[in-house]
Amino acid sequence: MSSTTATINVVDPENTIAFMGVEGANADLACRQACPYMQTLACPSFEDVFEVVAAGKAALGMIPIENSQAGRVAEIHNLLPRTNLHIVGEYFQQIEHSLLAPKGATLATIKDVYSHPQGLLQCRNHIREMNLTAHTYSNTAAAAADVAKWNDPSKAAIASPLAGELYGLTTLREHMQDSDNNVTVFVIIAREPVDPNPDAIKDGGRVLTTLLFTVRNIPAVLYKSLGGFATNNVNILKLESYIPGGAAKDAAQFFLTLEGHPSQKPVQNALEELGFFCKKVTVLGVYPADPARFS
């Protein structure tokens, strides 16, 4: 465990959900929305989120894996297999970016804007239209905290409305994001897996299975390994490829999320065929889908 993680203290670990960032970050807001009765715990890195959950300092962790506008966020395929943690849920967060500044600032006084690279990317058209100079920051909420500390009417932050409330900033412009279809997908991790019964989920909910597999080095191996999903009518929702360690000599790994439960016969058949063409298949989690995924 890192020394940073070792210093994190919480009052009620089993009622705590950890996230990467600082108080007021979009991940903090997502935790509060997904688990409104739990206290949130800010961690300096994704690795620290995994470590506090593994160490029992938090019952759950929430990690962003992709954004509808900016693409991949966290490389969970590198982090999760190195632990004994499991994906136990997902959460779709509608991202609302606000332009936040100290009291007394106006749109006319703002010259510089600070935010996480993802926040700047998701608001790039509006930033350009407003002729603002963008500066990258480690976190959207950290940017908001420093803008409040500087108290300079020429400086603003792009962050969540929650950050504006927490740090006493004025909202100069709501909905700074370039697209209203701006959603970040989070996965929820825990020490123990869940095993939802696909026949017992309420309101027509569905079960997802996420796995990581390493293909064998043979011609057309990806085509062959995925054939079972097509022939068994199993819906693949996400498929990403990775080269472990960035070394081309290594066999490619694939991160895959499918609709269904491993106990269901079509999924069983598809996974069995997948196994013929893989060196290794690791199930990272079987969990309920967020209803927003299929709405």
- The residues carrying an active-site annotation are 184, 186
Nearest in space to 260 (alpha carbons), one of 282, 222, 233: 233
Contacts of 274 (CB under 8 A, 6+ apart): 213, 225, 226, 228, 229, 281
CA angle (279 as vertex; 61, 217 as ends), nearest 5:
120
DSSP β-bridge partners for residue 185:
66, 92
DSSP β-bridge partners for residue 256:
211, 239
Residue 194, classified by CB atoms within 10 Å of its CB into exposed (0-12), middle (13-18) or buried (19+), is middle
Residue 20's SS3 state is strand
Percent of the chain as helix, strand, coil, to the nearest 5: 30, 30, 35
Sequence-separated contacts (24+) of 203-206 with Cβ below 8 Å:
203/291, 205/288, 205/289, 205/291, 206/259, 206/288, 206/289, 206/293, 206/294
Nearest in space to 97 (alpha carbons), one of 40, 157, 142, 149: 157
